Amino acid sequence: MKDPDIPLSAPEITDADREAVMEVLGGRRLSRGPWIDRFEAAIAGVAGRREAVAVSSGTAALQLACVLTGLGSASEVLTTPFSFIASANVVLHCGARPVFVDIDPATLNLDVGQLEKRITEGTRAILAVHAFGRPAEMDRLESVARAHHLVLIEDACEAIGGRCGGRPLGSFGDFSAFGFYPNKQITAGEGGVLLTDDADLAARARRLRNQGRDPHGPGYPDLGYNYRWTDIQAALALSQLGRLESILHRRREVADGYRRRLEDCESLVLPEGNSETSWFVYVVRLADGIEPSARDPLLAALRGQGIGCAAYFPPIHLQPVYRDRFGYREGAFPITEQVAARTLALPFFNQISEAQQDRVAETLIGLLRSER
């Protein structure tokens, strides 16, 4: 497939980022070296956590959180069906059951009122996601988790640098995770980090990421994984982390730019961030007056004009693995399904130009006009 003229996302790599990577390549330790330690100290600071354990992906970080929670076949985990599929898959990989709770249509995050009603004897954990970088109600979720003795896992992979009630995202609950895939606010190509305030759990996570190996002896006390990250990636991510504030500022500007250009278009519902959002993607929705069946042809037409776009997120419960194992059908989580059927993610990255944003907005408005 031909690359679109205006991609859906694009990493921003500066000269300083390149120099940081070259410095690692000039040394001898490409993995498990000093850059990982530096990155872990820096990201723990960003998240307001005592411990950070860098791993090979955001998914690996979430999976370690599930393993350290001790999830097993009798465990239920309350989570959202409106997310990147990784946040539910990690629960399945532990043999546990993801119990989905529908979202709040305003925030697109877990509806906390509904969530409380789904707590049973088997519930062990809540896994919350900040969909598209908009903070979930972590303060409320923290009190629910505390009241019911549940582990709280914060999937902050889409929301680095965001806040909830003034507190940094990544600081809530027992565990949190960030991811560094190329479409994220900070990227290392691939990578992730598990965060916690518990030094013993962090030490176990450090063993688990390296085959269960004891760092102080010859043996392998745990059944581990290879979830190691490289110093090459850590140096790249650390360099980017140094300009996190300016990256977030720029992304907010791009979101404001789309709002200015699209707010008069009655066929669209625009994403509502708040002052604590970390903008990850820019996802508009078709307004109620437009049939959802118009969405896929619109995506195809945008791509035909060289504009990258996507349907975020396909509901997790309707994916084949979840349908087959749990018998989910259409209608199970109506808000998630209604929202998901109407979304269009538009090109969104730091370096997008005014002219490119003009072109995206004009093309989209033109296509919607012929829709009415």
Residues forming the site for ligand PLP (CB under 6 A): 57-59, 83-84, 86-87, 129, 155, 157-158, 179, 181, 192
Kindly state the smallest distance separating residue 351's Cβ from ligand PLP, in Å: 20
Give the nearest residue (CB) to ligand PLP: 58
Complex with ligand PLP: residue 65 or 302, whichever CB lies closer: 65
Complex with ligand PLP: residue 158 or 231, whichever CB lies closer: 158
Dist CA 372 CA 364 (whole Å): 13
Kindly state the smallest distance separating residue 240's Cβ from ligand PLP, in Å: 15
> Which residues face 310 on adjacent strands?
345
For residue 65, what is the enclosing H or E element? helix 58-69
For residues 133 and 280, the answer to whether their CB atoms sit within 8 Å is: yes
Complex with ligand PLP: residue 59 or 357, whichever CB lies closer: 59
Neighbouring residues of 329: CB distance < 8 A, sequence distance ≥ 6 = 323
> Which residues face 155 on adjacent strands?
129, 177
Complex with ligand PLP: residue 309 or 316, whichever CB lies closer: 316
- Phi, psi angles (nearest 5°) of residue 359: -65, -40
Kindly state the smallest distance separating residue 232's Cβ from ligand PLP, in Å: 16
Complex with ligand PLP: residue 319 or 363, whichever CB lies closer: 319
Kindly state the smallest distance separating residue 191's Cβ from ligand PLP, in Å: 7
Using N-to-C axis directions, what is the helix angle for 231-241 and 34-47, rounded to 10°?
40
Kindly state the smallest distance separating residue 149's Cβ from ligand PLP, in Å: 25
Kindly state the smallest distance separating residue 77's Cβ from ligand PLP, in Å: 14
Dist CA 176 CA 64 (whole Å): 10
Complex with ligand PLP: residue 181 or 322, whichever CB lies closer: 181
318: Cα within 13 Å, side-chain hemisphere: 16
Q: Which of 241, 182, 188, 225 is nearest to 41 (CA)?
A: 241
